[in-house]
Amino acid sequence: MTDRSTRREIYERSRRRRSIFIATTSTIVVVAAMIVLVPMAPGWDRVRQSFFDGDVFAETFPGLVEAFWLDVRILLWSTPLILVVALLVALARNTRSPALFPLRAFAIIYTDVLRGIPVILLVFLIGFGVPALGLSRTWANPVIWGTVTLVLSYSAYVAEVIRAGIDSVHESQRAAARSLGMTSRQTMGTIVLPQAFRRIVPPLMNSFVSLQKDVALVSLIGPVEILRQAGIDKAKFANFTPYVAAAIIFLAITIPCTRLADWALARQRRRTGATTIA
Amino acid sequence: MRTSPALRRIVPVLAASALVFAACGSDDDSDSTEATDAPTETDAAAATDAPAATDAPAAGGEGCDATISDGVLTVATGEPAFYPWVIDDAPETGDGFEAAVAYAVAAEMGYDEASVEWARTTFDEAIQPGAKNFDMNLQQYSITEERRENIDFSLPYYTSNQAIVALEGSAAEGATTVADLVDVKFGAQAGTTSLAFIEEVIQPSQDVFVYDDNVGAKAALEANQIDAAVFDLPTALYVSGVEIEGSLVVGQFPADAGGTTDEFGFVLEKDSALTPCVDAAITAITDSGELDAITQEWLADFTGAPVITVE
């Protein structure tokens, strides 16, 4: 038994070393090909000047970081609101009492309609339309209504994720809880939701990363966030480098988020005993 | 354990490069087709520093046949092209200021009306590296030194002032100096020099809101999100007269009152062989008075507005 597992370990170690060697070699080949071949293209000098201009980068980067702060603030306001609204919609859709049919119908219409409408239309409709009803300057602020739009749209998506998580908890869990005398509210709060949320952490992270980029849509109704600032700088210098600078700033946030999501996924697989064989 | 380590290593590299390229390629929240540009810091200086017009060949001479398709001059404008620059979005009729200028310049370059073809581009298409689908592009592109790093500009064919549009009863109404405008909430169009003008000359106390086009600025005025918007004067007069009901041009900022002017030039590919030829043609129609006549014909109604002084 021990002997056999040791031989197996040795074999696996050699396979692992081989995999790492292949991975390293192919990465080097791909990167080297990009570094060597791309500059050989006849238009490379013009492309480099238009997209990777060091002076433009240095001049616009601080302003872009400053503009990114607005994205971060919108993100920080909208994320908890999205989670709360989405949870309420998902719970509404999971009610079972016949008397609550209108609530279920509302939840279904909410998700169907808000996921079906392009976010860009919602941004204009809510961002310009609601304030035009006669709000004071303070309450007409497009940052407020842009955030509301993101919350409406994303909560519809996230509600479906949460609902899928709730549905993924086996019916026997619910039945067992009810047979122990728990109320349906206790069952949902202490038995179903904790299991559901553990399962949907990765897709939720996915939505969060996607939201980071959709915050840029708020700029359509006035506020100057990072992509708008990059567009302004692009027009000022007739150069696309500011977008590259903005991309780097975005990556500084999205890569850690994606890694975090991957880590959460891996941890969950370990905990639920899923195999790691590819 | 089979291929996953390899994948795990390569995927981030590819993903990162893909993201960078995606971010570069898919921009475009900022510019609509018409970049109603206005000047910035360069203003009048840009004209005098303009590239070697003096040693350009005579009109219709050397370099003038370096077009993308033989014997045809392809001129680009916005999609749609706006009044009064192009009437009814039909530049091929020659109606509208920029359409008329384009045909006059083309004639000087040795291309008759039949040899002029029109293309449509966005601002981004005009500045992108690589092959262009036009020989020259005019859609109120302001000449600035920064832009000249990446594209060629012709000599200016029009000089415009910045102007303020507001709804009646706005906080900006009745302003006579820039000091009256400090607390006004402004909006401007992305990618225009009007935005730089607000930030550098008016220096308002509140952040400027920015829109893709006139439509956004109009909606924001009506939604009580901004007090006033800034455009070049002809656009401002058109927007207030036709597009936004109940609005007026509060004032303009002429150069002799401390304002900065906006000089419009043709955009050509960087280091285009055609640039000296276009410059020579513009010089010729300026000297002959033809440009003045065209300006009178199409823009005579687009100059009247109260003057706002800058310190």
The DSSP-derived string for A135-187 is --TTTT-HHHHHHHHHHHHHHHHHHHHHHHHHHHS-HHHHHHHHHTT--HHHI
| CATH code at position B83 | 3.40.190.10
User: Would you mind telling me the total number of residues written for chain A in this entry?
Assistant: 278
Query: Is residue B271 included in any domain, yes or no?
Result: yes
pLDDT value at B125 more than 90 = no
Mean pLDDT across the stretch B288-309? 85
Residues B66 and B133 in one domain: yes
d(CA A85, CA B189): 34
β-bridge partners, B177: B309
SS3 B142: strand
Across A40-44, A92-96, A258-262, B16-20, least confident range = B16-20
d(CA B52, CA B148): 13
- Cβ contact (<8 Å) for B195 and A232? yes
Per-residue model confidence as pLDDT tens digits over B66-116: 888 888 999 999 888 888 899 889 999 999 999 999 999 999 999 999 999
Q: What confidence category does residue A275 fall into, taking pLDDT thresholds of 50, 70 and 90?
A: low
Residues B235 and B185 in one domain: yes
Please tell me the predicted confidence (pLDDT) of residue B261: 76
| pTM of the model as a whole | 0.72
Q: How far is B47 from chain A (nearest CA, A)?
A: 17
Q: Nearest by CB to B130, which of A46, A238, A251?
A: A46
Query: Is residue B114 included in any domain, yes or no?
Result: yes
- Higher-pLDDT residue of B214, A161: A161
Count the Cβ atoms, other than its own, within 10 Å of residue A138.
7
Amino acid code (one letter) for A241:
T
Mutation target among B14, B208, B209, B245 for the A interface, most CBs of A within 10 A: B209
pLDDT value at B120 more than 90 = yes
Residues B109 and B124 in one domain: yes
- Cβ contact (<8 Å) for B23 and A244? yes
Count the Cβ atoms, other than its own, within 10 Å of residue B218.
21
CA of residue B291 relative to chain centroid, distance: 18
Angle (nearest 5°) at CA B183 between B180 and B184: 85
This model of the complex carries an ipTM of 0.75
Residue of A nearest to B19 (CA): A247
Query: Is residue B21 included in any domain, yes or no?
Result: no
Please tell me the predicted confidence (pLDDT) of residue A144: 94
Which residue range forms the structural domain that includes residue B66? Answer: 43-160+262-299
SS3 A85: helix
B157, B266 in Cβ contact below 8 A?
Answer: yes
* H or E element at residue B135: none
Q: What confidence category does residue A224 fall into, taking pLDDT thresholds of 50, 70 and 90?
A: very high
Burial A174-211 (b: 16+ CB within 10 A, else e): beebeeeebeeeebbeebbbeebeebbbbbbbbbbbeb
Residue of A nearest to B220 (CA): A128
Residues B272 and B131 in one domain: yes
- B200: tokens are 């550098």
Amino acid code (one letter) for A73:
R
Per-residue model confidence as pLDDT tens digits over A231-269: 999 988 888 999 999 999 988 888 888 788 788 778 877
Query: Is residue B178 included in any domain, yes or no?
Result: yes
Per-residue model confidence as pLDDT tens digits over B229-264: 998 888 888 888 888 888 889 988 887 776 777 899
d(CA A149, CA A124): 9
Dihedrals phi, psi of B177, to nearest 5 degrees: -130, 165
Query: Is residue B191 included in any domain, yes or no?
Result: yes
Residue B230's contacts (CB-CB under 8 Å, 6 or more residues apart) are B38, B162, B163, B164, B165, B186, B187, B188, B194, B195, B197, B198, B236
pLDDT value at A200 more than 50 = yes
Residues B111 and B236 in one domain: no
- Higher-pLDDT residue of B302, B188: B188
Domain A61-271 has CATH 3.30.559.30: no
Residues B270 and B138 in one domain: yes
Per-residue model confidence as pLDDT tens digits over A64-90: 999 999 999 999 999 999 999 999 999
Please tell me the predicted confidence (pLDDT) of residue B23: 42
- Cβ contact (<8 Å) for A50 and B225? no
The full set of domain ranges for chain A reads 2-40, 61-271
d(CA B263, CA B147): 13
- Cβ contact (<8 Å) for A234 and B191? yes
Q: Is A195 on the interface with B (CB under 8 A)?
A: no
Query: Is residue B5 included in any domain, yes or no?
Result: no
Per-residue model confidence as pLDDT tens digits over A157-198: 999 999 999 999 999 999 999 999 999 899 999 999 999 988
Number of domains in chain B: 2
Query: Is residue B19 included in any domain, yes or no?
Result: no
Q: What confidence category does residue B305 fall into, taking pLDDT thresholds of 50, 70 and 90?
A: confident
Q: In what order do the strands lie in the sheet with B228-232?
A: B209-211, B186-189, B228-232, B162-167, B247-253
Residues B181 and B249 in one domain: yes
Residue matched to tokens 């989405």: A86
Across A87-96, A269-278, B215-224, least confident range = A269-278
Please tell me the predicted confidence (pLDDT) of residue B49: 42
Which DSSP state fits B136?
Answer: E
Per-residue model confidence as pLDDT tens digits over B15-71: 444 444 444 444 443 333 334 444 433 343 444 444 444 433 344 566 788 888 888
Residues B270 and B134 in one domain: yes
CA of residue B157 relative to chain centroid, distance: 12
Radius of gyration over every alpha carbon of chain B, rounded to an integer in angstroms: 21
SS3 B279: helix
Query: Is residue B15 included in any domain, yes or no?
Result: no
Residue matched to tokens 């354990």: B1
Mean pLDDT across the stretch A38-64? 89
- A116: tokens are 């079906």
pLDDT > 70 in chain A, percent: 96
- What distances in angstroms separate CA A269 from CA A207, A231, A243, one per listed residue? 20, 42, 37
Residue of B nearest to A246 (CA): B23
